[in-house]
Structure 1
Amino acid sequence: MTTPKLLNRLTFRQLQVFRAVYDQQSYSRAAEALGLTQPAVSAQIRQLEHALGQPLFKYAGRTLHVLPAADALARSVQAIFGQLSRLQMTLSEMAGTIHGELDLAAVSTAQYVVPHLLARFRAHYPNVRVRLRVCNRRQALARLAEQRDDLVIMARIPLDRNLVFMPLLDNEMIPLVWPGHPLLEAEHPTLEDLARHYVLMREPGSGVRSAFEELAAEQDVRLPHTIELGTNEAVKQGVMAQLGVAVLPRLAVRLEVEAGLLRPLDLPGFPLRHSWCAVHPRERFPTPVTELFLRFLEDHLDDVHRHFNAPPSPLPSHGVDCLPLVPP
């Protein structure tokens, strides 16, 4: 098939549907994301396969397998949509407004920071559509490998030369107990003393849990009494309810510590320190909106550092109401 015939038979809608199926690894999830029926998605993929002259996906039982032609097409689709995004940014700049989309994923510990960054960014660029998915570290690594987001915000970046990252803010993890806990009266408490209590932990794959378990292994401390809770918020509430003790990010509990509802515990080896970073694969060239967001972060990180390193207080107003813009 010659190139002109291929160009004449492809449509952007087919490429949009293909990208959704490729990213979601599922016809049904792609249909849900696009607001289409599954038969409509299947029909678009069949038409695309006919135009290309090669199959893209194959079902084996209930598992959708991605074929080599789909991987090749995905690279081209990424370049095509990237060029369209750059064209949109250029036209927006010519018109005096910035439009576009920004897809972010953030590990759950970063959810206490990222909304502050997004609020400032959208105050300057209100026509940028932002999507944020919160996940644990294992899920963030999977999304990073699959290049499903413009940026992933996480700590403990893998040692991989194919990743580009920009440090944002320190993530300090500290041991926490409730007021009146007997360990607060101990003269020199240790991690082994903490481990004699019920320890509230996130699910496997959580970055906080992994960092805590690594420290326990380094100090040769077993954690025989654990209770697994699915979110940092549940762990925090569990400590306040005197269900157990825990290790959590300092920023996740700063308000409760300030209010006297939780008490940090001074233990050897703490705080655990890692930096949250904005990460993307080197081969995934940032979209113009992503580049704009990264430049914005660089310009405003000092303000964010000052805010989170000071006692809890409201951010200064950025002078923009959180109301949709109404065309004149």
Structure 2
Amino acid sequence: MIPATLHQLKVFETAARHGSFTKAAAELSITQPTVSGQIKQLTQTIGMPLFEHIGRKLYLTEAGTELLSTCQNVFEQLDNFEMKLAALQGAKRGQLRLGVITTTKYFVPRILGEFCQSYPNIDVSLQVINHQKLHDRMADNKDDLYILSNLPGDLEVHSEAFLDNPLVVVARADHPLANKKNIPIAALEGVDFISREMGSGTRRAVEKLFGENDVSVQVRLELGSNEAIKQAIAGGLGISVLSRHTLITEPPNGELTVLDVKHFPIKREWYVAHLAGKQLSVIAAAFLEFMLKSSQTTIENSSRRSLALQA
């Protein structure tokens, strides 16, 4: 066992994460020479260089990359130990790191709100991003749990479905197809359409369905925000396909309506997932259990109003 101190390992991990001694010093509230000194001592202890400077950039060596992975595992285990110790002492505190796709912002905060009533002393880090960025975070093991609708095919994960995620056709309330029943999907041929951005799971699902039914729409806009899409629909720029959960905040008989188009809704599910083999912290495990047990009731109470939008 190399005689390195935890402080040296923490300084190294922070510098490696930022790729900068200066930024590491700022995060740790120490001086840049102190960072350099700690890294120098750690390098001498290990007997191999951990960083290399190329131009003005700082890169990890092979030994540095291996040490970074080891440090991350060590600190994760220490964090988990602190939370377990707090649980044994009757205190519910710790950190919960969640990565979720953008559409979940319509219901995840409600679930978190109820959970935090039981765990008022936890710190929550919530990353709200699209599927592609979420995949990258998952591959780097940056969070405890992930909430998404498309499971990655190239990563080994443990996942559980906890909620339906129907995708529906949304139009302005005065659209010519509004209030009609059993609209054939072919009726969408050539319509002005507002699409989600590349990398969106909703976009992939819609393109797959349209392709299977030889339907070609006229994409007028590509937007990365569900709220922006709803505003564009209300502005008369076209129709779109959105998760029904995005309509939770819409008033009944408002500007938007759901079209009764055949082959819709597209049936999907929300999953909560984590990397296979990952040891969940006490707080993460508690949140996972809470979500699986109570999310359906929480979201149903919030989404009753959106059902009135169905044509």
From the superposition, tell whether residues 216 and 48 of structure 1 become closer, same or farther in structure 2 (CA, over 3 Å). farther
Whole-angstrom distance in 2 between the partners of 1:152 and 1:29: 32
Q: CA deviation at 1:16?
A: 3.4
Check the 8 A contact 1:106/1:132 in 2, yes or no: yes
Aligned to 2:271: 277
User: Structure 2: which amino acid aligns with 1:184?
Assistant: A
Whole-angstrom distance in 2 between the partners of 1:184 and 1:138: 34
Work out whether 1:301 is the aligned partner of 2:305: no
Match of 1:234 among 228, 235, 249: 228
Alignment of 1:168-317 (within 5 A): 168-184=162-178, 189-256=183-250, 258-308=252-302, 310-311=304-305
Aligned to 2:6: 11
Aligned to 1:27: 20
Q: CA deviation at 1:234?
A: 0.6
Work out whether 1:138 is the aligned partner of 2:132: yes
User: Structure 2: which amino acid aligns with 1:274?
Assistant: R
From the superposition, tell whether residues 262 and 10 of structure 1 become closer, same or farther in structure 2 (CA, over 3 Å). same
Check the 8 A contact 1:27/1:38 in 2, yes or no: no
Once superposed, what is the RMSD of the aligned Cα atoms? 3.1
Stretch moving more, 178-187 or 163-172: 178-187
Deviations 1:208-227 (A, max 9, x none): 11211121222222334331
User: Structure 1: which amino acid aligns with 2:204?
Assistant: S
Deviations 1:187-242 (A, max 9, x none): 75444433423211221111111211121222222334331122111111111111
Whole-angstrom distance in 1 between the partners of 2:126 and 2:33: 27
Check the 8 A contact 1:105/1:135 in 2, yes or no: yes
Match of 1:105 among 99, 107, 117: 99
From the superposition, tell whether residues 310 and 88 of structure 1 become closer, same or farther in structure 2 (CA, over 3 Å). same
Whole-angstrom distance in 2 between the partners of 1:66 and 1:219: 50
Aligned residues: 306
User: Structure 2: which amino acid aligns with 1:300?
Assistant: S
Match of 1:164 among 158, 169, 176: 158
Aligned to 2:111: 117
Q: CA deviation at 1:265?
A: 0.9
User: Structure 2: which amino acid aligns with 1:269?
Assistant: H
Whole-angstrom distance in 1 between the partners of 2:203 and 2:153: 19
User: Structure 2: which amino acid aligns with 1:146?
Assistant: D
From the superposition, tell whether residues 41 and 311 of structure 1 become closer, same or farther in structure 2 (CA, over 3 Å). farther
Unaligned runs of 5+ in 1: 314-328
Q: CA deviation at 1:261?
A: 1.6
Q: CA deviation at 1:310?
A: 3.1
Q: CA deviation at 1:251?
A: 0.9
Percent same amino acid among aligned pairs?
A: 31
Aligned to 2:79: 85
Whole-angstrom distance in 1 between the partners of 2:22 and 2:253: 43
SS of the aligned residue for 1:183 comes to coil
Q: TM-score, normalised by structure 1?
A: 0.81
Q: CA deviation at 1:125?
A: 0.6
From the superposition, tell whether residues 94 and 64 of structure 1 become closer, same or farther in structure 2 (CA, over 3 Å). same
Whole-angstrom distance in 2 between the partners of 1:62 and 1:190: 60
SS of the aligned residue for 1:256 comes to coil
User: Structure 2: which amino acid aligns with 1:239?
Assistant: I
Stretch moving more, 158-167 or 129-138: 158-167
Whole-angstrom distance in 2 between the partners of 1:204 and 1:33: 36
